[in-house]
Homo-oligomer: A and B are copies of this chain.
């Protein structure tokens, strides 16, 4: 039987707190398109979490949320600087360019998904030209695609030169809570100068939902029209807001993220294959040759090989120590 426990952090269902709030939100009538009380409450909780004034919208898709943000920051003849292995760069079937009408993605290198500062500097130093798409935005991901965490200082060191050159800043927070559980201070986001932030609910253990946080409120004008046209202004908005209420109101989301991180640490500790990246949050990336990978597949375990050649094991709120141990046994057998 195929096992998806470690295939991704989107293979588990929703955590109890998220589901309970979802069910709770189902009662009675509510205004549609975000004008309801649950949506207002969830937005308040996010503002509280970030200690920041911001407009907040709840949408169904992380792909769309990030692509829409990049389209808001970058015109078609401009480009987004992002890590070459970032989700927005290589894993969205061209969504940023679709929503952004041909905007360019400039891939930058860097260890474990963190953008290299020198490479960024070089990209920023390129003179404007009519013949290339010059950068208008910097897209960051925290935690990164490889589970690494940017500290506040590291983020600041990338954001400052970009801002100096007039770029806007986007943060893909698909796994923001895992970064927070690993020490990243969410209150730093606004002072860091991030303009648009996407907070992933789905991978954090919610039913499908993502929060778009408009920190630069000048960008909020007609944002609902932007979302509507892009198919991301849900009529029954409360169902996208409710899981955030359930997970934020008593801090469950951070407990779940800490658990996922702890499970990854446990797996890393027992891992019979060499680690490809330090384990800082919920993913464990290892070096595994193709025959071993195929044996693991034959044993029923579904996991993914990544762009850097490593194989990823992903933990989530739902991961149990027992399943980590089962996996560890399986890994020993296929080595």
Residues on A lying within 8 angstroms of B by beta carbon are 2-5, 7-8, 10-14, 19, 22-23, 25-33, 60-65, 67-68, 75-79, 90-104, 128-134, 202, 207-208, 222, 224-236, 239-240, 302, 318
B101 pairs with A76, CB closer than 8 A = yes
In the complex the two chains form, what is the Cα distance from A191 to B171 in whole Å?
Answer: 42
In the complex the two chains form, what is the Cα distance from A92 to B67 in whole Å?
Answer: 19
In the complex the two chains form, what is the Cα distance from A11 to B36 in whole Å?
Answer: 10
In the complex the two chains form, what is the Cα distance from A207 to B92 in whole Å?
Answer: 25
B4 pairs with A131, CB closer than 8 A = no
Minimum CB–CB distance for A134 against chain B, Å: 6
A104 pairs with B95, CB closer than 8 A = no
CB < 8 Å neighbour of A133 from B14, B93, B129, B240 = B93
In the complex the two chains form, what is the Cα distance from A3 to B67 in whole Å?
Answer: 36
B30 pairs with A23, CB closer than 8 A = no
In the complex the two chains form, what is the Cα distance from A176 to B209 in whole Å?
Answer: 26
Which one of A4, A76, A231 has the greatest number of beta carbons of chain B within 10 Å?
A231
B102 pairs with A97, CB closer than 8 A = yes
A64 pairs with B231, CB closer than 8 A = yes
Minimum CB–CB distance for A41 against chain B, Å: 16
In the complex the two chains form, what is the Cα distance from A131 to B68 in whole Å?
Answer: 17
Give every chain B residue within 8 A of A22 (Cβ-Cβ).
Answer: 22, 207
In the complex the two chains form, what is the Cα distance from A84 to B228 in whole Å?
Answer: 19
B60 pairs with A32, CB closer than 8 A = no
A236/B10 contact (C-beta < 8 A), A101-B98, A132-B225, A231-B63 known: yes
A225 pairs with B78, CB closer than 8 A = yes
Q: Which residue of B lies closest to A34 (CB)?
A: B130
A94/B133 contact (C-beta < 8 A), A31-B7, A236-B202 known: yes
A229 pairs with B10, CB closer than 8 A = no
A225/B302 contact (C-beta < 8 A), A8-B32, A11-B29, A26-B14 known: no
In the complex the two chains form, what is the Cα distance from A208 to B238 in whole Å?
Answer: 10
Q: Can you pick out 21 interface pairs between chain A and chain B where the beta carbons lie within 8 Å of each other?
A: A2-B31, A4-B31, A7-B29, A7-B32, A10-B32, A10-B235, A11-B32, A31-B302, A33-B131, A60-B61, A61-B231, A77-B222, A77-B226, A78-B222, A92-B228, A101-B101, A130-B225, A130-B228, A202-B235, A208-B234, A208-B239
Minimum CB–CB distance for A130 against chain B, Å: 3
Give every chain B residue within 8 A of A25 (Cβ-Cβ).
Answer: 13
Which one of A13, A67, A98, A208 has the greatest number of beta carbons of chain B within 10 Å?
A98
CB < 8 Å neighbour of A228 from B30, B95, B230 = B95
